[in-house]
C-alpha cells in the first residue's frame, strides 16, 4: 500500500526543501545528478521498510569551542525532513510558547526579544530581581534513546513513522561513519564530548535536523514541569 509520506511526490518536495542550504555541498551535487532515480529508490526502500541510513560524516570544530559534528548523508537528510514534518504536526502544539530552539517563527532573535521583554516587566516592579541560567552538561550525548522512543510512542499512532523514528534514533553511528577534516582535533576531543568515542548506548549526533527536534521533544516534560508545576512565569528554553 502506498504511504503518502513515503511517496515519490512527498520525497521530491522534501528534497527541494533539503537542498536549499546544501546545494553547493558535494553530497548534494552527487545526489542531484540522478535525483529522480534516487528519490524513486528511496521511496521504495521506505515503503517496503528496507531503508537503512548511510554512513555519516564526522568532523570536529574548534570554534567557539571543541565539539564533534556528525552529519548525515544527503539522502538521509531528506528522510529526516519527512520524519520531522510528521512529528512537528503532533508535538508542536504540545510545546510551551517560550521554547525557541529550531522551531518555525522562533529562533534566537525571538528568544532575545522575549528575554528583553521579561527584563523590562521585572524592572518595572519594586524589589530585587534574580535570574537563573541553567545548562545541561553534554546534553545531546546523554539523551536516553529508550526514553525518547517512549515519548514518541505515547503520541504517535502511525506505525510507519514509529518504524522510521526507531531507524533514525537507534542507527549505530559509531560503526557507520567517515572521519573528515582535521583528524588531530578529533584525537584531542575528550571522550565525554564524543558520541563516536562513547561506550554508552545513548546520545544523538549534533548536526542533524532530527536531533534538534528530538531535543525539544525530550525536554518538553521539563518545560511543562517548570511552567505548570513550579509556576515559573518568566522562563525561556533555548538549546545552543
Going by pLDDT thresholds of 50, 70 and 90, the confidence category of residue 218 is: very high
- Percent of the chain as helix, strand, coil, to the nearest 5: 55, 5, 40
What count of other Cβ atoms lies within 10 Å of the Cβ of residue 145?
16
| E strand intervals along the chain | 56-61, 67-71, 177-179
Going by pLDDT thresholds of 50, 70 and 90, the confidence category of residue 2 is: very low
* Mean pLDDT calculated for residue range 213-238: 92
Report pLDDT for 126.
74
Question: Which residues have C-beta within 8 Å of that of residue 229, sequence separation ≥ 6?
Answer: none
User: Nearest 5 degrees, angle CA 60-CA 65-CA 70?
Assistant: 30
Going by pLDDT thresholds of 50, 70 and 90, the confidence category of residue 56 is: very high
In tens, the pLDDT along 84-95 reads: 999 999 999 999
* Mean pLDDT calculated for residue range 202-211: 91
Going by pLDDT thresholds of 50, 70 and 90, the confidence category of residue 240 is: low
In tens, the pLDDT along 163-173 reads: 999 999 999 99
Going by pLDDT thresholds of 50, 70 and 90, the confidence category of residue 101 is: confident
Report how far residue 112's alpha carbon sits from residue 169's, in angstroms, rounded to the nearest whole number. Answer: 31
The answer to whether 6 touches 161, Cβ cutoff 8 Å, is no
pLDDT of 174 > 70? The answer is yes
In tens, the pLDDT along 126-157 reads: 778 888 888 888 899 999 999 999 999 999 99
The answer to whether 11 touches 42, Cβ cutoff 8 Å, is yes
Report pLDDT for 41.
97
pLDDT of 52 > 60? The answer is yes
Going by pLDDT thresholds of 50, 70 and 90, the confidence category of residue 3 is: low
The answer to whether 219 touches 235, Cβ cutoff 8 Å, is no
pLDDT of 1 > 50? The answer is no
pLDDT of 44 > 80? The answer is yes
Report how far residue 31's alpha carbon sits from residue 24's, in angstroms, rounded to the nearest whole number. Answer: 11
Amino acid at each position: 500500500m502506498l504511504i503518502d509520506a513515503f511517496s515519490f511526490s512527498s520525497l521530491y518536495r522534501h528534497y527541494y526543501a533539503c537542498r536549499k542550504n546544501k546545494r553547493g555541498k558535494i553530497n548534494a551535487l552527487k545526489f542531484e545528478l540522478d535525483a529522480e532515480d534516487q528519490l524513486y529508490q528511496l521511496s521504495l526502500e521506505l515503503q517496503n521498510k528496507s531503508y537503512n541510513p548511510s554512513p555519516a560524516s564526522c568532523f570536529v570544530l574548534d570554534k567557539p569551542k571543541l565539539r564533534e559534528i556528525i552529519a548525515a548523508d544527503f539522502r538521509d537528510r531528506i528522510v529526516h525532513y519527512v520524519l520531522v514534518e510528521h512529528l512537528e504536526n503532533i508535538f508542536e502544539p504540545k510545546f510551551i510558547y517560550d521554547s525557541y530552539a529550531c522551531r518555525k517563527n522562533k529562533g534566537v532573535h525571538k528568544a532575545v526579544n522575549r528575554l528583553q521583554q521579561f527584563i523590562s516587566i521585572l524592572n518595572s516592579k519594586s524589589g530585587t530581581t534574580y535570574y537563573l541560567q541553567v545548562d545541561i552538561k553534554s546534553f545531546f550525548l546523554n539523551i536516553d534513546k529508550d526514553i525518547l522512543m517512549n515519548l514518541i510512542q505515547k503520541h504517535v499512532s502511525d506505525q510507519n513513522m514509529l518504524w522510521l523514528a526507531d531507524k533514525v534514533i537507534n542507527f549505530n553511528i559509531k560503526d557507520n561513519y567517515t572521519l573528515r577534516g582535521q583528524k588531530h582535533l578529533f584525537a584531542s576531543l575528550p571522550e565525554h564530548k564524543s558520541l563516536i568515542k562513547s561506550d554508552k548506548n545513548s546520545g544523538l549526533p549534533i548536526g542533524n535536523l532530527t536531533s534538534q527536534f528530538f531535543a525539544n521533544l525530550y525536554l518538553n516534560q521539563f518545560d511543562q514541569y517548570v511552567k505548570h508545576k513550579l509556576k515559573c512565569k518568566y522562563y525561556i528554553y533555548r538549546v545552543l
